[in-house]
Amino acid sequence: MITNSIRPRGRPRNFDESEALNKATQIFWSKSYDGVAIDDLIAGMGVGRQSLYSVFGDKRTLFLRVLRAYAERKGAGAAKALFSPPALRDSIAGFLRHAVEVATEEGSVRGCLMVCVAPLVDDPEVRQFLKDAAAGGLALVERRFRDGISAGEIPSDFPVGTRARQVLDLARGLTMHAQLGAPRKALLKDAEEAADLVLLPRGANAPREV
Amino acid sequence: MITNSIRPRGRPRNFDESEALNKATQIFWSKSYDGVAIDDLIAGMGVGRQSLYSVFGDKRTLFLRVLRAYAERKGAGAAKALFSPPALRDSIAGFLRHAVEVATEEGSVRGCLMVCVAPLVDDPEVRQFLKDAAAGGLALVERRFRDGISAGEIPSDFPVGTRARQVLDLARGLTMHAQLGAPRKALLKDAEEAADLVLLPRGANAPREV
DNA sequence: TGAATTTGTGATCATCTAGTCCAAAAATCC
DNA sequence: GGATTTTTGGACTAGATGATCACAAATTCA
């Protein structure tokens, strides 16, 4: 996917824009907005100070761009996890597993930029973006549940909204647990069990010979 | 509960220590460690700079003290919510409601110091404290489940560890949702529904005439 | 080749930061 | 009342921070 063969006019850039953005993501992710100094970004992104400001704007603007790119990637992954598998249970489990995988990626920092870092950035635009993103995630899960109703996998009175909120809460909880250092393997198992919890209340734990 | 009538030797303090600590809690809570300047603390706590350093130590030490005090309060509240009600369902619902109430306290900041703020403090001691606190919370819920087994409220093969982790994940999720601005009333309802989810899988949503 | 255009580099600035120092103030003890 | 002890308040320091500026370097276009 080479951008465009039309070369711009002046001196060519010494860095790849999207790669630099990925580096910036890692830096913000690991050091949490306030903890990041411009010099950290310059050193980590491989971009000169002037280039950084002229290409990405100031720190706040750069963070917003990082956040948007991150959200788009993560949202795409979540949607794929939700709508690829034919079985509803696999979709929900995949959604939760995806949250765990993002939060425990090897070589990267634990947690999630949107769940752990961005909420603390004291900026109305960031705040609004997070609200919208959360609403979007909720809508995705709700839609998947409705598809499940259409397919007859769950009854038509399945509490779509409530269960979707619970799925999101569980995903957030798993993410925070990952940030604290829980091992990936255990979290993936928790993700499966969370999916079962939300979808399979078929009396598995009903009292028996107590 | 007046501390002690034996007056200390020198000039009396011009502030109440625990009250100042509460103010500090609010400040860290609302501005997130890195966002807090010493001058913010001085202004907000009503304590002079020198007094602040001599009484509470440096910023990091003060934060640790704030964190410990906060954790103790919150832990006590959680334990009370868990072990006061006779019925297990009320205990779990109370535990989750407590998380919501803390995260949506009027006049205070949204969220939770331990869930939303402290995990981002880049300090090994803080990190370890949070791990221990999380383990402690988990142990509380597990114990309550075991009590429930003893009392015959749930079967003896109830998956205590799994369900306790799910309760904690749901609590974390609710807290983060609160931080994003969800209304308290809705969150309290979610807390109730989460308790039902974890405890009442008695086929309520099992397929029927689909 | 030379003008135009864009990027890279280092110096620089004003501001903010955590933390220290010192003398004055206010209390107790003898 | 004087010595002692503790708190207070403001001045101060050294360093970090976000951002800008001026100028050199590298490329395209004519």
| pLDDT in 10s for each residue of chain A, 210 residues | 433 456 778 888 889 999 999 999 999 999 999 999 999 999 999 999 999 999 999 999 999 999 999 999 999 999 999 999 999 999 999 999 999 999 999 988 999 999 999 999 999 999 999 999 999 999 999 999 999 999 999 999 999 999 999 999 999 999 999 999 999 999 999 999 999 999 975 554 443 332
Q: Of A127, A156, A209, which is closest to B210 when you measure between CB atoms?
A: A156
Q: Which of residues 80-119 of B touch strand D (CB under 7 A)?
A: none
ipTM exceeding 0.95, yes/no: no
Is the pLDDT at B203 greater than 60? The verdict is no
Q: How many residues does chain B have?
A: 210
Q: What are phi and psi of A202, to 5 degrees?
A: -100, 45
Chain B residue with CA closest to A151: the answer is B210
Amino acid at B166: Q
Q: Please give the pLDDT value at position A207.
A: 38
What are the pLDDT digits (tens) for B167-194? 999 999 999 999 999 999 999 999 999 9
Which of A127, A51, A44, A141 is CA-nearest to residue A92? Answer: A141
What are the pLDDT digits (tens) for B9-68? 888 998 999 999 999 999 999 999 999 999 999 999 999 999 999 999 999 999 999 999
pLDDT: is A151 or B1 the higher one? A151
Q: Please give the pLDDT value at position B1.
A: 41
**Which residue ranges form the domains of chain B, and what is each CATH number?**
67-199 (1.10.357.10)
Amino acid at A34: D
Burial category of A132 from C-beta neighbours within 10 Å (exposed 0-12, middle 13-18, buried 19 and up): exposed
Chain A residue with CA closest to B29: the answer is A120
Residue B46: which nucleotide is closest by CA–C1'?
D8
Q: Is B84 left (phi over 0), alpha (psi -120 to 50) or beta?
A: alpha
In angstroms, the CA B99 to CA B131 distance is 18
Nucleotides on strand C with an atom closer than 7 A to protein CB? 4-11, 16-23, 25-29
How many C-beta atoms surround the C-beta of residue B25 within 10 A?
21
- The CA distances from residue B195 to B91, B102, B120, in Å, are 9, 17, 29
In angstroms, the CA A110 to CA A106 distance is 9
CA angle, B52 as apex, B47 and B57 as ends, to 5°? 160
Residue with tokens 């050091």: A31
Nucleotides on strand D with an atom closer than 7 A to protein CB? 4-11, 16-22, 25-29
Instruction: Please give the full DSSP string across A179-195, using - where no structure is assigned.
Output: HTT--HHHHHHHHHHHH
